[in-house]
Structure 1
Amino acid sequence: MANQMTKAQLVAAIADETNTDKKAASAMLDALTGIITKTVSEGGAVTLPGVGKIYCRERPERMVRNPSTGEQIKKEADKVVKVTVAKALKDSINA
């Protein structure tokens, strides 16, 4: 993985782009994270224009295999968070 942005770097970038201080940018990022978490955990979806869509999907009960023993195990139904990347982001990366 080439350049991985840390939270501190992201907060600094947001503060720079929005002409605010780092404290306000950090509060905005925390608020966005909270809103996404609350919405997705309630079964909704959040679309970030130009980035993608974050949503929760239910997986049915299924049989899985333990890789070390080869034993078949029944895995209970669960939920998983999915992200569908926006076409605009895909196109900007492949351009």
Structure 2
Amino acid sequence: MLMSLNKSELASAIAAKAGLTKSDSEAALNALQEVLVESLGKGEAVKITGLLSVERVERAARTGRNPRTGEEIQIPAGYGVKISAGSLLKKAVSA
């Protein structure tokens, strides 16, 4: 069975590992979230060596298809987010 941590559970786990209060770890998570959003919004990549890198990528305009009607539609150019796992994460999931 696949398990996942929500933000509150992650804050509790970080607090326990780092010897912080839960409110301090929640504040740190909120700050990380703000930095990621602001940096990606400016087109800056965020890299945490060994853990992950997050960057904004351009997506070209393309032709798609409406799955309900089969009608072709034009999808405008835009941006997406690319997240790459670092070596520590890759080792953790392959063990």
TM-based fold match above 0.5 = yes
In the alignment, is residue 41 of structure 1 matched against residue 73 of structure 2? no
CA deviation vs aligned residue, 1:39-69 (integer Å, no higher than 9, x gap) = 0110010012232110110111111111121
Alignment RMSD (CA, Å): 1.2
In the alignment, structure 1 segments of 5+ residues that lack a partner are: none
Identity rate, percent: 33
What amino acid does structure 2 have at the position aligned with 1:62?
R
Aligned residues: 95
Letter in 1 for 2:29: L
Q: Give the equivalent residue in structure 1 for 2:16.
A: 16
Rounded to whole Å, the distance in 2 between the matches of 1:71 and 1:58 is: 25
TM superposition shift of 1:91: 2.1
TM (normalized to structure 1)? 0.91
Matched position secondary structure for 2:70: coil
Partner residue, 1:60: 60
Following the alignment from structure 2 to structure 1, what is the Cα–Cα distance between the partners of residues 69 and 87? 41
TM-score normalised per structure 2: 0.91
Cα deviation for residue 10 of structure 1 reads: 0.7
Q: How far apart, CA to CA, are the structure 2 residues paired with 1:48 and 1:3?
A: 24
**1:78 counterpart residue number:** 78
Q: Which whole-Å CA distance do the structure 2 matches of 1:50 and 1:9 have between them?
A: 23
Structure 2's unaligned 5+ residue stretches are none
Q: Distance in 2 between matches of 1:70 and 1:23?
A: 50
